[in-house]
Structure 1
Amino acid sequence: MADTTASSSGANCLEKLKSYVKTPKGFILTGEIFVSFIVIICYGASHTGGYSSLAICEMIFAMVFFGIFMMELDKQFLVVNWVWTDLFRAGIGAVLYLIVSLINVIGGSGDGARIAGGVFGLIAGLLFAYDTYTIYLQIKSTSQHTAASTDDGV
């Protein structure tokens, strides 16, 4: 007899993946992973490959958060404030990508792969900045809805 529970859980995971990628947050995280992978390839092909460590770290962090949000683990592990953690991840990624990419675009004369990595890094920095902005709007809208009660019966 074949065990059908394993294949149905795999199909369930695939369905979660497909449905999460269609959400705005899933689309942004997918874009971050994809652009970071392109930056890794460009910096790996350049003469100075040391700049790829930032892209590797940011891609791994984006993949971890993609997995956490896709499997809805953020609703199960309430010890960590996932929204604020994601805000810090995206904000730090945006700042670091913009700094490293500007260094590579300005100082990469003669190395086309380094300049291409810098240009894609600038795109990644803007994508991470947009992610930071959307998370900030989410936090702002959540804090406005939770107003303190005014109890006049004291």
Structure 2
Amino acid sequence: MADTTTTSPDENYLMKVKGYVRTQKGLILAAEIFISLIILICYAASYFGGYFVLALSEMIISTAFFVIFMMELDKQVLVVNWIWTDLFRAGLAACLYLITSLIAVIGGSGDGARITGGVFGLIAGLLFAYDTYTIYLQAKTTRQQTAAPGDARV
């Protein structure tokens, strides 16, 4: 008789995805991936399709960080400081989304897809800025916890 209590690797992976999306960081990364996909579609439908490169690159990078954090590879690969790398990623994405979206909204007269992509880009800029803030708080608490107690007599 076959053993029905074992789970397949696909089910195990799906359980990891579901479990990670329920965390705050997982939810933020999933939202970043989803809104980048929406912006990618809007900019691709626009007359000026060059703006979609930012949305595509941020969607790919956010997906990579989602997989890294979900599979807990950040705890195995200790060569990279993942907190600061993630902080840099989110901060740069927030700045680039806000700048690109303002350009798209201001100069997008007559192109509804470009304006829509710009509005979603402003929302994505705020989402990435919130992610930057949460990562900064995490880095601040991590630094305070790992700081060695100093001698006050020095």
Q: TM-score, normalised by structure 2?
A: 0.92
Q: In the alignment, which residue of structure 2 is the partner of 1:33?
A: 33
Q: Say which SS state the counterpart of residue 18 (structure 1) adopts.
A: helix
Q: In the alignment, which residue of structure 2 is the partner of 1:76?
A: 76
Q: Say which SS state the counterpart of residue 40 (structure 2) adopts.
A: helix
Q: In the alignment, which residue of structure 1 is the partner of 2:105?
A: 105
Determine if the alignment matches structure 1 residue 44 to structure 2 residue 56: no
- How many residues are treated as equivalent by the alignment? 152
Unmatched tracts of structure 2, length 5 or more: none
CA distance in 1, matches of 2:14, 2:141: 31
Deviation at 1:148, TM superposition (A): 2.4
Deviation at 1:149, TM superposition (A): 2.3
Unmatched tracts of structure 1, length 5 or more: none
Q: In the alignment, which residue of structure 1 is the partner of 2:142?
A: 142
CA distance in 2, matches of 1:145, 1:72: 21
Q: Say which SS state the counterpart of residue 144 (structure 1) adopts.
A: helix
Deviation at 1:146, TM superposition (A): 2.6
Return the letter of the residue paired with 1:29: L
Return the letter of the residue paired with 2:57: C
Deviation at 1:142, TM superposition (A): 1.2
- Structure 1 vs Structure 2 CA RMSD: 2.1
Following TM superposition, the consecutive aligned residue runs of length 4 or more in structure 1 with deviations greater than 6 angstroms are none
Deviation at 1:147, TM superposition (A): 3.1
Q: In the alignment, which residue of structure 1 is the partner of 2:131?
A: 131
CA distance in 1, matches of 2:20, 2:11: 14
Sequence identity, in percent?
Answer: 70
Q: TM-score, normalised by structure 1?
A: 0.92
Deviation at 1:150, TM superposition (A): 3.7
